[in-house]
Amino acid sequence: MNAHNSTTVSADDDQQPSMAVVDLVSEVTGTDALELDPLYNAIDPDVLDTLCTSSSGFTSLEFQYASHTVVVEQVEEGLDISLEPVTIGAAGSSGVADSGPSV
């Protein structure tokens, strides 16, 4: 993954994982953080922060936010948060296929 599309939040950072996600999406998309859809439309920010900072055995999670797949992984330095644009390829097209007239 492109380093521009990822960030690491260490345990001693003051930034919560939820805010790191919003900041990274804002930076990558060039959109002011206040203009993005609220994160809670994709995932509960409190749950994200609690899960990622607890000793619950968390290793990784993935969700979609602002046309990106967000991957949050536990790493030795803290959390690695990365983005990948959501794309729909030929095999994963959405919509209704016309299979001809129905009988």
Q: Do 73 and 87 contact (CB within 8 A), yes or no?
A: no
pLDDT in tens, 13-22: 778 999 999 9
Count the Cβ atoms, other than its own, within 10 Å of residue 81: 21
**How far apart are alpha carbons 21 and 42 in whole angstroms?**
11
The single residue listed with the structure tokens 């991957």 is: 71
**How far apart are alpha carbons 79 and 16 in whole angstroms?**
10
pLDDT in tens, 23-45: 999 999 999 999 999 999 999 99
Q: pLDDT at position 62, please? A: 94
Q: pLDDT at position 99, please? A: 46
Q: pLDDT at position 55, please? A: 73
Higher-confidence residue: 13 or 67?
Answer: 67
Count the Cβ atoms, other than its own, within 10 Å of residue 96: 5
Q: pLDDT at position 37, please? A: 96
pTM of the complete model: 0.76
pLDDT at residue 92 is higher than 50: no
Instruction: Extract the runs of DSSP E, i.e. beta strands, from 1-103.
Output: 6-10, 60-65, 68-75, 78-85
